[in-house]
A and B are shown apart, each in its own frame.
Chain A
Amino acid sequence: MTSTRTVTRLSRILALIPYVLDRQAVDVNEIIDRFGYTKVQLTRDLNTIFVCGLPGYGPGDLMEAYMDEDEVIIDAADFFTKAPRLTPVEALGLLAAGMTVIGSGEGSPALESAVRKLSKVVMPDADTSLAVDVLDQSQNVGVLRDAASEGRVVHMVYRSVGKEETTEREVEPWSVFATLGRWYVLGHCRLVDDRRTFRVDRIKELELLEETFERPESVPQPGVGYSPSKDDVTCVLDLAPVARWVLEYYPVEVIRESSQSTRIRFHSPDAEVPARLLLRLGTDARLVEGSEVAVRTHEIGRSLLSKYL
């Protein structure tokens, strides 16, 4: 199997040639920027184009490609006046990218018309055959995006996920991202004086402050994970196969698994979240270890039963 890198390189060459042919000569820096080249890569690809052409492969058969001062020149390549059509993966990728941004509420009329025009040529009924929902029902994403790109501090009222409590804090937002269908914001939290990731839908109130901050030179890759601390509550659960979705929604450690049951270790800042999880799972889970969680589950369970019975 030929590597993806080879295919990517060829794809860029086949896009570069028609672009330059159409304009005869193009500024080197524009090409580097537009096609994501380094100068070394561009030189190598031009040299490659230069040795390929029509059978016979004599001087009159090969394409011309070279750099002249600050310009890229390509000629004698009439068979490559157009780039190859998009593959389904490429077409899907670009349409989905556009739809994601529109769905987040951060689209623009230009993006909407671009997606419409693109659909027309790759999948005329895309608006009913393809849907990408990474919805932001909180309408906080736009404010956070502005705050992060302008380097402005935000004040938020936040309902934490791990610990069911509401807090107020000031945050320096670095990036806003969606994964597994949810929006998060990553930044420096002044309340704990450390880096934190917040779920955007759990931000009850959000205010953009005038105060600015210095964005760190390199922002860590956004990611969702839970970093256990020594104050954590830990418990061990056995999950029935139908409860395996828990693995996708909570940061858990799988201890062992079989077709009948999955044993996991669950870390959380307090006993509330695993207790609620046990109640909702009913017969699909069993608590194996974790006395604190057992106590909390009893408390919530009894309090619920007193309402319902």
Chain B
Amino acid sequence: MRPTSNVNAMQNVVERVLNLLIYLLESPHPVTSNDVRHTVHGYADQSDEAFHRMFERDKSVLRRLGVPLKMEALDAWEIDEGYTVDPDEYAIPDPGLNQEERLALSVAARMVRLGGTEAGVGAIIKLGGMERGDGVEPLGADLGEGAEVLGELFGAISDRRKVEFSYRGHPRPVEPYGIAHRRGHWYLVGNTPDGERIYRVDRIEGLAVGEKAGVFEKPKGFDVKNAVDNQPWETGSDPVVGTEVKFDAEVAWWAARSLGLAEPKSELTTTVDVANRDAFVGWVLSFGTSAEVLGPPEMREAIATRVGEALVRLP
């Protein structure tokens, strides 16, 4: 296709969708696809098949724009259904931001990337456009890929809709409670037939969101911040063992930061609650000879065993 026809095709879609949206917002009653076809500019002179294809595409554009397009019965017998957009539901609610708050959000929106684009700019535009600050903004953060899946989960969480997806090859029905970005990954926390579970969002495949909203209650006091652990060794099925570990002065300040402790002047000896022994052994060994587990004996043994296993496997 030549570039000019691409541009024309886009121009036609933009005009047609604007006209369609105006028609839907202004019609006092739900309208059928036939009404649309014979009333809205841009649909005439199409074959049945071409019209249906165009109309399906345009409806999906409306949904992607955030337009609440609904089907409603046309008459009391509910035999035929028509399309409608309620102007009150269409309108963006006003969060009542003042100038300073708008500027702060605009700056943040441009700093953070999600799914390869500036995360909040689309939202800022709808809220009345960006406010410009002065000077260079050197700060930025990338929250990874998967914006579409995250958006769908976010919508399902707000509306209390059930979701279903495949995780490591198994189907999972989940009542989604929250999502969290931690240690560089997004996690979903929700209720399953087996109790509360955590899923890595990038491993979710074939996400389907339930039709009905408001089908479950989030437990009182649920907070996704507490549901997703900070450290890999906090998540596990091992009995929790308070483990004493010592870090040399050279690395103690860095270990303290990783553990969220105050930075020590020289070496650091501290006790860490370990629920996942494998993960903790791995972390301690990443310090080489600069860290030593002091006790209990079974944790020292676990370290020695791991090192022994690695050594026998060397060529």
Contacts and interface: CB of A to CB of B under 8 A. Distances in A.
B274 interface: no
B78 interface: no
Contact of A12 (B125, B148, B151): B125
Interface string A125-162: 10011111110011001000100110000000001000
A278 B129 CA distance: 52
Interface residues of A, number: 124
Report whether over half of chain B's contact residues are helix, strand or loop; otherwise say mixed. Answer: helix
Interface in A76-132: 79-98, 100-101, 104, 106-108, 110-111, 113-115, 117-118, 120-123, 125, 128-132
Contact of A87 (B40, B64, B89, B111): B64
Contacts of B287: 276
A97 B108 contact: yes
A33 B132 contact: yes
A15 B125 contact: yes
Contacts of B11: 48
Contacts, number: 390
B211 interface: no
Contact of A280 (B58, B60, B286, B289): B286
Nearest to A19: B128
A22 to B, nearest CB: 9
A39 interface: no
A40 B283 CA distance: 56
A1 B124 CA distance: 25
Nearest to B120: A94
How big is chain B's contact interface, by range? 35 or more
B93 A121 contact: yes
A218 interface: no
A112 B310 CA distance: 49
Contacts of B102: 114
A298 interface: yes
Interface stretch (A67-75, A170-178, A206-214, A225-233): A170-178
B101 A130 contact: no
A256 interface: no
Contact of A166 (B22, B95, B250, B315): B250
Contacts of A265: none
B155 A6 contact: no
Report whether over half of chain A's contact residues are helix, strand or loop; otherwise say mixed. Answer: helix
A281 B278 CA distance: 9
B92 A83 contact: yes
B92 A54 contact: no
A5 B17 CA distance: 14
B111 A97 contact: yes
B129 A137 contact: no
B239 interface: no
A-B complex: 7 closest residue pairs judged by Cβ atoms: A181-B184, A89-B151, A34-B129, A94-B120, A88-B155, A148-B138, A82-B91
24 contacts: A2-B58, A6-B10, A34-B128, A34-B129, A36-B125, A53-B19, A54-B26, A57-B41, A92-B150, A93-B119, A95-B120, A96-B112, A97-B114, A98-B120, A111-B101, A111-B104, A111-B105, A114-B102, A129-B218, A134-B143, A179-B184, A181-B182, A181-B183, A279-B285
Given A85-B66, A129-B158, A303-B289, 10 more contacts: A1-B60, A2-B13, A10-B65, A14-B21, A92-B114, A120-B95, A134-B181, A145-B139, A215-B136, A307-B289
